[in-house]
Structure 1
Amino acid sequence: MLVNLNRVLLKARKEKYAVPAFDCTDDILIRTVLDTAEEQNSPVILMVLEHDLKGKGFDYITSIVKGVSHRYNIPIVLHLDHATDIELIKKAIHYGFTSVMYDGSTLSFEENVANTKEVVDFAHQYNVSVEAELGRVGGNEIDGTDAGESLLTEPEEVLRFVNETKVDALAVSIGTSHGVYVAEPELNIPRLKEISDISPVPLVLHGGSGTPINQVKNAIENGISKINLYADLRIAMFEGLKKAATSQSRIDPLPDQLFLPIKEELKKVIVNKIEMVGSQNKGIE
């Protein structure tokens, strides 16, 4: 069933676990994530990026998710991630996204507040939750371009930002980065504690792939309620693709045989992440 972020994150924050958020761009990802999450009885967030919606992306992705979500007995959030185009965000809401993120992290504090508030005012009319970002999580973008250096979230700005924008969740920068790490990150847990003590809304950790499990668990214990994950899924798909390419006995393998190694590698990673964030058996109770 489709729900917004509030439905899953408020409970997660109270009980000190996190909800896994996986980028899902096609049927193989969507189906494997949902099937595995249901097996684990875990709530799950399906995330989509702006570039995934080019062409007929809106129609393909929303028709799949909206078409199957009612068949799953777990909470499912369809979330637009890292959007900077306000008109595209409004379009996503009209297409049936239940949650959106406006990313004003490269703007001044005042511009970020103003734009985020515009998104919130619109989204809340449709019972759609809004995530925003304060500070900046750097690293590498999906297209390989450099997203710049990370800027840690300033705790003294958090309460003012949330009060002025009325956002439902806040992505914070505490030492992670997007993409594949070239060196092990070191999360700033004291900074996170300070932010969590101040924030009226659940906190989000971007760049969860590759972050050591002990650090992720520490972050969840100290206030993180949503973990964004994508790079580890792409790595798993590639490993499955290599296995699929070398394991076929036919020149014309059947689709279920061809895709099976990819789904198996994905499933192992998804189960690992659900166990890492502690969301198993937190779905329908």
Structure 2
Amino acid sequence: MPGKMTSVALMGVGAYGAATALNAFVAPGAPTTQGATQQRQQVRHLRQAQQAAASQGASSVNVGACALGAAALAAGAAKAGKRTPQRAQVARCATAVAKKIGFKNLPASVKAGVVTGQALVDLLGYAKEKGFAIPGVNIVGTGSINACMEAAKKAGGPIMVTFSKGGGQFIAGKAADNSDDKASIAGAVAGALHVRAVAELYGVPVILHTDHCQKAWLPWFDGLMEANEEYFEKNGEPLFSSHMLDLSEETLEDNIAICKKYLERMAKVNLLLEMELGITGGEEDGVDNSDVDSSRLYTQPEEVWQVYETLSSVPNGNFTVAAAFGNVHGVYAPGNVELKPEILHNTQKYIKEKLGCESDKPVSFVFHGGSGSSVEDIQYAIEAGVIKMNIDTDTQWAFWDGMNKYQKKNVDYLQAQIGNPEGPEKPNKKYYDPRMALRAGEESMADRLVKAMQDLKCIDVL
């Protein structure tokens, strides 16, 4: 984000930038006052921290060094106006260096925090090239948002935080006025602003996304677009990174036409569109496809080509395709779901021939209904160009499971405000404080997500 220091992962750079900035404000040959001596000592300490970062890797640098580096840069910038233009220029260069440094492995455009526009396109392209996929998780509040970013920090990979229409309403509050989708819009916007406020603190790239939006829910989508456009006007980037349209219940022609219309609008503010072809079975967040004809669970290559050909014609238009290949929302007993990732492989070959291009994976696919799928099917789908997989049911269970285990472990301390096995007058506040059970849910969800990231080969890719 403009005007902010990069994340904890870049602390070595922060230390280096701070040392450079401090040098700019200690004039050569100046009298050695006590203040100047202290400044030089700070410079030496910061240089030592930067040298340690170079030898050990940026992730091992002490947090205090980054904080001191940021503070020194801020102090230097404040003094720049009172110093010579040359010194002010040095300070600006030091700040610019700190902002431009990204991750060791990822494209240079990708920084810690929310990723949008070209940086998002670069990140997804890198995932396809290197053969990993990013987990997308439907969240319902700040607890599950934070669990997503905690998992990404632990795993060393990017994460997608996804808001559904119902999830947005829940964040706003179920008692809030939701006429004209006001609460669903406001809640999703509030959640996105929360992510933007804290994402850089986790030191990972975060994609802000919204989930299934059927035709009847387009007013919700329009409200989100207005929020993006307003944010873009003020900040030069959209509030969210991407949005999904699920018009798979419409005819193929209507699906493509509506998606093109919205992509033309989205392209003006550098938003990426995810569109759905075919039906993802099962039920999720008010969308129930549990009784759908099984033939609609499998997308044909010709359909994907029609989408690709049309959406590729939109200037600055970027999109991904959620093509159905037997995927189903929810977790089912083995044998009840027949995934056919070969559909994606065949589709890539078909479109490569149509385009006459060199790339073996011209389409960026996303995988819905990933919970309960075998690792073999998941990784075979990734080989076909899947760059994101939704994992919701398993993470929802993990959050609940963590809270449930906390309750069982501490049940004797959760029966009353006062009185437990340690004595009839012993207080129990530290056990029934809601943060305790919620934190147990966050930790459990983060652990499950780390396992998902291992399956997606999204480990240590930063």
- In 1, the alpha carbon distance for the partners of 2:198 and 2:122 equals 19
Task: State the partner residue of 2:327.
Answer: 176
Deviates more, 1:89-98 or 1:238-247: 89-98
- In 2, the alpha carbon distance for the partners of 1:247 and 1:165 equals 53
Q: Is the 8 A contact 2:363 2:385 kept in 1?
A: no
Task: State the partner residue of 2:274.
Answer: 131
Amino acid corresponding to residue 61 of structure 1 in structure 2: G
Task: State the partner residue of 1:89.
Answer: 221
Unmatched segments (≥5 aa) in structure 2: 1-112, 170-182, 229-238, 313-317, 352-360, 418-428
Task: State the partner residue of 1:262.
Answer: 441
Please state if 1:192 is matched with 2:338: no
SS in structure 2 at match of 1:126: coil
Of 191, 194, 198, the match for 1:64: 194
Q: Is the 8 A contact 1:80 1:92 kept in 2?
A: no
Pairwise CA distance, 1:143: 4.2
Q: Is the 8 A contact 1:13 1:202 kept in 2?
A: yes
Return the TM-score normalized by structure 1: 0.92
- In 2, the alpha carbon distance for the partners of 1:156 and 1:164 equals 13
Pairwise CA distance, 1:246: 1.9
- In 1, the alpha carbon distance for the partners of 2:157 and 2:151 equals 9
Task: State the partner residue of 1:158.
Answer: 304
Pairwise CA distance, 1:247: 2.3
Q: Is the 8 A contact 1:33 1:270 kept in 2?
A: yes
For residues 179-237 of structure 1, give each alpha carbon's deviation from its aligned partner in whole angstroms, at most 9, with x where no partner exists: 22244423213212111232633101100011111211121122211111100011111
- In 1, the alpha carbon distance for the partners of 2:209 and 2:291 equals 24
Deviates more, 1:71-80 or 1:84-93: 84-93
Change (3 A) 1:41 1:195: same
Q: Is the 8 A contact 1:102 1:132 kept in 2?
A: yes
Q: Is the 8 A contact 1:232 1:269 kept in 2?
A: yes
Pairwise CA distance, 1:92: 1.8
More helix per residue: 2
For residues 69-108 of structure 1, give each alpha carbon's deviation from its aligned partner in whole angstroms, at most 9, with x where no partner exists: 2333221110011112333223223251110011111110
Trace 1:16-165 onto structure 2 (pairs within 5 A): 16-54=131-169, 55=183, 56-84=186-214, 85-93=217-225, 94-95=227-228, 96-143=239-286, 145-149=288-292, 150=294, 151=296, 152-165=298-311
SS in structure 2 at match of 1:58: helix
Q: Is the 8 A contact 2:279 2:289 kept in 1?
A: no
SS in structure 1 at match of 2:114: coil
Return the TM-score normalized by structure 2: 0.58
Q: Is the 8 A contact 1:155 1:195 kept in 2?
A: yes
Please state if 1:222 is matched with 2:384: yes
Task: State the partner residue of 2:404.
Answer: 242
Q: Is the 8 A contact 2:155 2:460 kept in 1?
A: yes
Pairwise CA distance, 1:3: 1.3
Deviates more, 1:126-135 or 1:138-147: 138-147
Of 103, 115, 133, the match for 1:3: 115
- In 2, the alpha carbon distance for the partners of 1:238 and 1:203 equals 30
- In 2, the alpha carbon distance for the partners of 1:214 and 1:247 equals 36
Pairwise CA distance, 1:274: 0.6
Change (3 A) 1:274 1:91: same
Pairwise CA distance, 1:172: 0.9
Higher relative contact order (CA 8 A, sep 6+): 1
- From the CA coordinates, give the structure whose radius of gyration is larger: 2
- In 2, the alpha carbon distance for the partners of 1:144 and 1:107 equals 14
- In 1, the alpha carbon distance for the partners of 2:188 and 2:290 equals 25
Change (3 A) 1:80 1:279: same
SS in structure 2 at match of 1:82: coil
Deviates more, 1:167-176 or 1:177-186: 177-186
Amino acid corresponding to residue 395 of structure 2 in structure 1: L
SS in structure 2 at match of 1:140: strand
Q: Is the 8 A contact 1:244 1:260 kept in 2?
A: no
For residues 132-180 of structure 1, give each alpha carbon's deviation from its aligned partner in whole angstroms, at most 9, with x where no partner exists: 0111112113348444425211101212211212351000111110122
Matched residue count: 283
Amino acid corresponding to residue 114 of structure 2 in structure 1: L
- In 2, the alpha carbon distance for the partners of 1:12 and 1:236 equals 26
Deviates more, 1:227-236 or 1:179-188: 179-188
Amino acid corresponding to residue 373 of structure 2 in structure 1: T
| Identical amino acids, percent of aligned pairs | 25
- In 2, the alpha carbon distance for the partners of 1:120 and 1:165 equals 8
- In 2, the alpha carbon distance for the partners of 1:119 and 1:105 equals 15
Q: Is the 8 A contact 1:138 1:178 kept in 2?
A: yes
Pairwise CA distance, 1:28: 1.0
Deviates more, 1:53-62 or 1:16-25: 53-62
